[in-house]
A and B are shown apart, each in its own frame.
Chain A
């Protein structure tokens, strides 16, 4: 189990400045309108306030509570249940290394160790320049691309310690970084806004990176009569011929 800060009630949270409040209230109204019952919009609203500040602050909790007519204790209880809501600011780029069993065994443990050393930070910490935060994550539904690293929840598949270190160096140097599956990175805050339910308006982001890498297509290629790499033992089958099938 990870250590938890209990978020015990401190001083009453400050409200957002008036103009921030007005802007977010408009967004909140749109999100709430998508559900038959307002409270269903709580997870989206928590993503929304995380998009504003890079974490869920006491002010963010207060905002959500006001919008949904809940107590701040009720909202805090929900926010602390889910791992994606941060209680401290994430870096501009939040790096998650999968260390669930399959990725860990295939090299995720080593990637995570070497990244921490390389960056000089530990699990759930952020570099002093505020650029990179790092966390080990659970299985991200990409085991056929193991070992997997996520940055701002875009996929960086088939990583090695070297490629992962290069990745964070590129991010800190401001170089363009493209995920293997996903769109050109935006900031952690911008990502949280998409999670709240607002479309990413940048041109080309939906189409970026194709339909999937080689693992997604593996069975399909075989079914089309192609061979897969590294399978000298497998038979080369002729292209599909409906008529000859039994």
Chain B
């Protein structure tokens, strides 16, 4: 693919394909778009064949780590006499990440259908959706869609006459980023403080109520029905060899048209900017995240990195949640990193010392650097603390906290140094706002689309 590719060829709406139809959150509309056809196909197959199909399709988890979904299902021991559980991770709280919430708002049935298929495959008769609490409009639509699915016989006893039973419980969280971490999520769902568990045992062996449990992201599960209806070859024809399929890229920040862009894995930021109108008028790209704040930041040198698991990894970051947060040259990188670090310190669950203490001290250092009160040696101290958190914490929240610091110092050390030598922040925050742009609007023809 080249950047001259027209948008309609570059993009591949599958999950988002029915979002512009009439009331796409209703069962009626979903049925008009092949809704619940994937379920019918699955029920006609033995459960193990469904697992094999999803495994062969190459679908990888969309929650951040990219673990193969079918393999995760295969890890569930069968004929062990224990209940099995499916828990959908709809906690979406990683800064910058904004794909599952619009997906569930527009089309909750795609998740429900995927859940029934997954439950059938792993032999589970009670599945849960753990939705972050701060999104009540989405909760309403999920509750309504689950009720519709029960009424239509897709949930409850003897689904579609198959002899299979499934209940889905929609569960609202209560505000805690760490509950997106799968083992903390399970503790939270058991009615406890959301703190990560020691692994092994992994959830596939001892998850919810110490029973075999699959935890999958919303987008991972919603991607399953199209694989059943259209086949694994179709799925593999999209994307790259090791990262097949389509996915939602979420573009936000200093761009002309922020939003959801569903495309085959492996497109580049340059391509997405090209078709969507680029960085906001009169400005140029400074830094961006490929997959949320926990993924090391990129600069304009990374515009052509293929946005798949391997491509982003090879360039020194992670695909994460595909949350492309774009910041232009008006943005102070120290300010951005300070704010993210405050987030990690606030959300640190307190279980392990490197993260709990380290994030606290990082915030103290960053605040004083941002305020122009930093002293020589502060940058080394930052790196030293980050190094003591990264890889030495109990869960990946700690690693995530170190990412923005290490990567920003790698690419923008001189900007940190300016804060030290000039003893102030050299940026005007007003210039970064959406309305600053409006008041000094430059003619569209003169603008730079992006770097």
The residue from B136, B257, B323, B349 contacting A152, defined by CB atoms under 8 A apart: B136
A23 on the B face (CB < 8 A): no
Q: Across the two chains, which residue of chain B brings its CB closest to A223?
A: B11
The residue from B106, B281, B430 contacting A216, defined by CB atoms under 8 A apart: B106
Q: Across the two chains, which residue of chain B brings its CB closest to A196?
A: B172
The residue from A36, A102, A205, A211 contacting B83, defined by CB atoms under 8 A apart: A36
A25 on the B face (CB < 8 A): no
Contacts A211-B19, A216-B259; A222 near B176 (Cβ below 8 A): no
A106 on the B face (CB < 8 A): yes
User: What B residues does A57 contact at CB under 8 A?
Assistant: none
Q: Is the CB of B105 within 8 A of A211?
A: yes
| Chain B 423-445 interface residues, beta-carbon cutoff 8 Å to A | 429-430, 432-435, 444-445
A228 on the B face (CB < 8 A): yes
Interface size on B, residues (CB 8 A): 103
Report the minimal beta-carbon distance from A77 to chain B, rounded to whole angstroms. 6
Q: Is the CB of B174 within 8 A of A217?
A: no
Q: Is the CB of B253 within 8 A of A218?
A: no
Contacts A47-B174, A141-B135, A144-B98; A211 near B253 (Cβ below 8 A): no
| Chain B 170-204 interface residues, beta-carbon cutoff 8 Å to A | 170-177, 188-194
User: What B residues does A183 contact at CB under 8 A?
Assistant: 137, 140
Q: Across the two chains, which residue of chain B brings its CB closest to A140?
A: B134
A96 on the B face (CB < 8 A): yes
Contacts A99-B339, A138-B347, A222-B7; A40 near B190 (Cβ below 8 A): yes
Q: Across the two chains, which residue of chain A brings its CB closest to B332?
A: A105
Q: Is the CB of A81 within 8 A of B193?
A: yes
Q: Is the CB of A146 within 8 A of B258?
A: yes
Q: Is the CB of A219 within 8 A of B8?
A: no
Q: With A and B bound together, what is the CA distance between A109 and B140 in angstroms?
A: 30
Q: Is the CB of A102 within 8 A of B253?
A: yes
User: What A residues does B252 contact at CB under 8 A?
Assistant: 102, 143-144, 146
Q: Is the CB of B277 within 8 A of A139?
A: no
Q: With A and B bound together, what is the CA distance between A36 and B189 in angstroms?
A: 11
Interface size class of A (residues with CB under 8 A): 35 or more
Q: With A and B bound together, what is the CA distance between A13 and B231 in angstroms?
A: 59
Q: Is the CB of B172 within 8 A of A197?
A: yes
The residue from A1, A68, A107 contacting B346, defined by CB atoms under 8 A apart: A1
User: What B residues does A40 contact at CB under 8 A?
Assistant: 171, 189-191
User: What A residues does B12 contact at CB under 8 A?
Assistant: 223
Report the minimal beta-carbon distance from B331 to chain A, rounded to whole angstroms. 6
Q: With A and B bound together, what is the CA distance between A141 and B323 in angstroms?
A: 10
Q: Is the CB of B250 within 8 A of A144?
A: yes
B interface footprint on A112-131 (CB within 8 Å = 1, 0 otherwise): 00000000000000000000
Report the minimal beta-carbon distance from B189 to chain A, rounded to whole angstroms. 6
A interface footprint on B287-329 (CB within 8 Å = 1, 0 otherwise): 0000001000000000000000000000000000001010100
User: What B residues does A84 contact at CB under 8 A?
Assistant: 133-134, 173-175
Q: Across the two chains, which residue of chain B brings its CB closest to A83?
A: B175
Q: Is the CB of B96 within 8 A of A139?
A: yes
Q: Is the CB of B136 within 8 A of A106?
A: no
B340 on the A face (CB < 8 A): yes
User: What A residues does B261 contact at CB under 8 A?
Assistant: 218-219, 222
A191 on the B face (CB < 8 A): yes
Interface residues of chain B: helix, strand, loop or mixed (majority): mixed
B375 on the A face (CB < 8 A): no
B95 on the A face (CB < 8 A): yes
Q: With A and B bound together, what is the CA distance between A246 and B6 in angstroms?
A: 12
Q: Is the CB of A195 within 8 A of B133?
A: yes
Q: Is the CB of A44 within 8 A of B258?
A: no
Q: With A and B bound together, what is the CA distance between A100 and B177 in angstroms?
A: 13
Q: With A and B bound together, what is the CA distance between A78 and B335 in angstroms?
A: 33
Report the minimal beta-carbon distance from A220 to chain B, rounded to whole angstroms. 5
Q: With A and B bound together, what is the CA distance between A42 and B173 in angstroms?
A: 11
Report the minimal beta-carbon distance from A40 to chain B, rounded to whole angstroms. 5
Report the minimal beta-carbon distance from B95 to chain A, rounded to whole angstroms. 4
B239 on the A face (CB < 8 A): no
User: What A residues does B449 contact at CB under 8 A?
Assistant: 233
Q: Is the CB of A143 within 8 A of B7?
A: no
The residue from A141, A143, A218 contacting B257, defined by CB atoms under 8 A apart: A218
B interface footprint on A14-33 (CB within 8 Å = 1, 0 otherwise): 00000000000000000000
User: What A residues does B249 contact at CB under 8 A?
Assistant: 219
Contacts A36-B83, A106-B253, A218-B259; A139 near B93 (Cβ below 8 A): yes
Report the minimal beta-carbon distance from B65 to chain A, rounded to whole angstroms. 19
Contacts A140-B135, A220-B13, A223-B13; A207 near B277 (Cβ below 8 A): no
Q: Is the CB of B191 within 8 A of A78?
A: yes
Q: Across the two chains, which residue of chain A brings its CB closest to B449?
A: A233
Contacts A37-B190, A141-B135, A154-B137; A223 near B8 (Cβ below 8 A): yes
B230 on the A face (CB < 8 A): no
Q: Is the CB of B277 within 8 A of A231?
A: yes
B242 on the A face (CB < 8 A): no
Q: With A and B bound together, what is the CA distance between A41 and B252 in angstroms?
A: 36
User: What B residues does A194 contact at CB under 8 A?
Assistant: 136, 139-140, 143
The residue from B134, B136, B336, B434 contacting A107, defined by CB atoms under 8 A apart: B434
Contacts A37-B209, A102-B252; A215 near B258 (Cβ below 8 A): yes
Known: A228-B276, A234-B276. 8 other contacts (CB 8 A): A40-B190, A143-B258, A183-B140, A205-B140, A211-B24, A216-B16, A234-B274, A235-B6
Q: List 11 A-B contacts (CB under 8 A).
A: A44-B172, A82-B176, A140-B135, A142-B98, A152-B136, A153-B133, A182-B137, A197-B172, A209-B137, A218-B276, A235-B6
